[in-house]
Amino acid sequence: MVLVMNGHKLVVVAGGTGRLGRLIVESLLEHPGVKVRILAREPGRPEIAAMAQDRVELVGIDLGSASDAERIAAVEGAFAVVSALQGGPDVIIGVQLELLRAAKAAGARRFLPSDYSYDFFTLPEGVNVNSDWRRTLAERARAEASPSFEVVHVMQGMFADRQVLGFLGLFDGSTIRYWGDGTTPIDWTTWEDTARFVAAAALDDREVPERLYVSGDRMGVLELAELWQAAHGRTLAHERLGSLDELAEETRRRLATEPASMHAWLPLMYAQAVFGGRALLGPRHNARYPHIEAESVAQAIARGVL
């Protein structure tokens, strides 16, 4: 089943050549009548050029150095502009805000920034710098929103993915690691389902909530480990890394001793939000898009992504 829409639509995707960006493009193209324009710095690279097809246009632009007029031209005619851009505050706040303003000036219906995370609106300042940047963008974006121009923050929790759990230092295929008691609920969604929800929100003819909460499942890491063991017929070692207070202290220590090494402390910042239970999603909006049957954690494990 595909989303019912009025007429043909053009969706512009910035960051459409990355992992999630490509999935968003694929999800958009599942809907007949939808065309996609991908903004890329190097559209001539073979792996990027190969993405072009009848309904996919590639436009070469460096959004960071482009002029206002160039950004507006790049999104001209778009029903929605979707960002899958990642980076530091210069990108998350600066580039995205300029892209948002270009989308508004070009007459787009809505802009979707590259949030795709837990509910960072509920976190205190300083828990996670990445979340702080995204809240700053949201605050500035709200001043640009109007009844005719929406800014939609899609939040789906954690990606149900072995690579993401590995980045957080929680899973290596033989050991499950956790802070606290391991029972704190966590929202989980696959990359593919996240992309499907983003595409649906981008194409929606109705008003879309400013904070769109979608997810596939909710459970703690120890429950996830039980499902994994049952599916794979293997026992995982369990390692408690410390209390939540010890997690906060370790984060501060690494930030003080290795300030230039983001990989030393950013995973711990995400862990603070996840295991502290302060970033759970609000009431889910999955029912808005009944054509999307989001995978549970058990289904994701069975498919081999965990």
Q: Closest Cα to residue 121, out of 213, 231, 184?
A: 213
pLDDT confidence band for 239 (50 / 70 / 90)? very high
Q: Closest Cα to residue 64, out of 90, 28, 89, 32?
A: 90
Q: Which CATH number fits the domain that encloses residue 53?
A: 3.40.50.720
Q: Please name every residue paired with 38 in a beta bridge, in sequence order, or none if there are none.
A: 13, 58
Burial 233-264 (b: 16+ CB within 10 A, else e): eeebeeeebeebeebbebbeebbeeeeeeeee
The Cα-based distances of 122 to 63, 119, 253 in angstroms read 30, 6, 24
Classified as helix, coil or strand, 7 is: coil
Whether residue 113 contacts residue 83, with contact meaning beta carbons closer than 8 Å, is answered with yes
When divided into structural domains, the chain yields a total of 1
Domain-located, residue 99? yes
Domain-located, residue 265? no
Q: Is residue 87 scored above 60 in pLDDT?
A: yes
Residues 68-72 have a mean pLDDT of: 98
Domain-located, residue 176? no
Residues 37-53 have a mean pLDDT of: 93
Question: What is the spatial distance between Cα 48 and Cα 42, in angstroms, rounded to a whole number?
Answer: 8
Domain-located, residue 37? yes
Domain-located, residue 54? yes
Q: Closest Cα to residue 306, out of 186, 180, 138, 133?
A: 186
Q: Please name every residue paired with 125 in a beta bridge, in sequence order, or none if there are none.
A: none
Question: What is the spatial distance between Cα 238 and Cα 224, in angstroms, rounded to a whole number?
Answer: 12
Domain-located, residue 162? no
- Phi/psi class of residue 204: alpha, beta or left (left: φ > 0; alpha: ψ in -120 to 50)? beta
The Cα-based distances of 142 to 33, 92, 149 in angstroms read 30, 15, 10
Whether residue 9 contacts residue 203, with contact meaning beta carbons closer than 8 Å, is answered with yes
The pLDDT value recorded for residue 306 is 87
Residues 20-28 have a mean pLDDT of: 98
Domain-located, residue 299? no
pLDDT confidence band for 8 (50 / 70 / 90)? confident
Q: Could you tell me the residue range of the domain that residue 59 belongs to?
A: 9-156+190-215+281-291
Domain-located, residue 72? yes
pLDDT tens per residue, range 128-148: 999 999 999 999 999 999 999
Q: Which residue has the tokens 């058990």?
A: 298
